[in-house]
């Protein structure tokens, strides 16, 4: 799936989940609950290759996904 679409989806989710200390957890839970493994994997690959293009929160999200073996 086009990573631009995944990026847009993830950024929309980030915008809509209020900022708290646990925001990255809520986003990663959302991705685990609703995204296919392929989508999570593609997004992980894309973010880790282009970390500076993504917010700190989304960087933490993909790290959390990898840490829990969800990406």
Partner 1 sequence: MTILSDPRGTMPMRSGIGEADYGTPKSDSDVLVNVTIDGQSHLVPLGTSIMRAAGEAGCDIPKLCATDSLQPFGSCRMCIVEIDGRKGTPASCTTPVEEGMVVRTQTAKVAKLRKGVMELYISDHPLDCLTCSANGDCELQDMAGVSGLREVRYGIGKNHLDAPTDSSNPYFSFDESKCIVCNRCVRACDEVQGTLALTIEGRGFNSKVSPGGLNFLSSECVSCGACVQACPTATLQEKSVIDLGMPTRTVETTCAYCGVGCSFNAELRGDELIRMVPTKTGGANEGHSCVKGRFAWGYASHNDRVTTPMMREKITDEWRVVSWDEAIQFTATKFKAIQEKYGDNSIGGISSSRCTNEEIFVVQKMVRAAFGNNNIDTCARVCHSPTGYGLSTTFGTSAGTQDFKSVAHSDVIVVIGANPTDAHPVFASRMKRRIRAGAKLIVIDPRKTDLVESAHIKADYHLPLQPGTNVAVINAIAHVIATEGLIDEEFIAERCEPSQFKRWRTFIELPENSPEVASAQSGVPAELIREAARMYAGGNNSAIYYGLGVTEHSQGSTMVMGMANLAMATGNIGRDGVGINPLRGQNNVQGACDMGSFPHELSGYRHVSDNAVREQFEMLWDVKLLPDPGMRIPNMFDNAISGEFRGLFVHGEDIAQSDPNVKHVYGALESMDLVVVQDLFLNETSKFAHVFLPGTSFLEKDGTFTNAERRINRVRPVMAPRNGKQEWQIICEIAQAMGYEMHYENSAQIMDEIAQITPTFKGVSFAMLDEVGSVQWPCNDAAPTGTPIMHVDNFVRGQGQFMETPFVATEERSNRKFPLLLTTGRILSQYNVGAQTRRTKNTTWHTEDLLEIHEADAAMRGIIDGQKIAVTSRIGETILTAHVTERVPAGVVHTTFHHPQSGANVITTEFSDWATNCPEYKVTAVEIRPADSSAPATNTLDEVLAKV
Q: Which residues make up the interface to partner 1 (CB under 8 A)?
A: 1-2, 5, 9, 12-13, 15-16, 18, 20, 30, 32-39
- Beta carbon nearer to partner 1, 8 or 51: 8
CA separation for the pair 40, 20 (Å, rounded): 23
Q: How far is CA 17 from CA 9, 23, 43, 49, 70, in A?
A: 13, 7, 19, 24, 20
Instruction: Please say which residue, 11 or 52, places its beta carbon nearer to partner 1.
Output: 11
Q: Which DSSP state fits 19? A: P
- Smallest distance from partner 1 to CB 57, Å: 14
Q: Which is nearer to partner 1, 2 or 49 (CB)?
A: 2
Taking the complex as a whole, the smallest distance from the CB of residue 36 to partner 1 amounts, in Å, to: 6
């Amino acid at each position: 799936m086009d990573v631009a679409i995944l990026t847009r989806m993830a950024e929309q989710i980030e915008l809509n989940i209020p900022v708290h200390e646990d925001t990255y957890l809520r986003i990663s839970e959302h991705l685990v609950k609703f995204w296919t493994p392929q989508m999570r994997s593609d997004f992980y690959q894309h973010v880790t290759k282009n970390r500076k293009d993504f917010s700190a929160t989304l960087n933490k999200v993909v790290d959390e996904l990898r840490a829990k073996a969800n990406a």
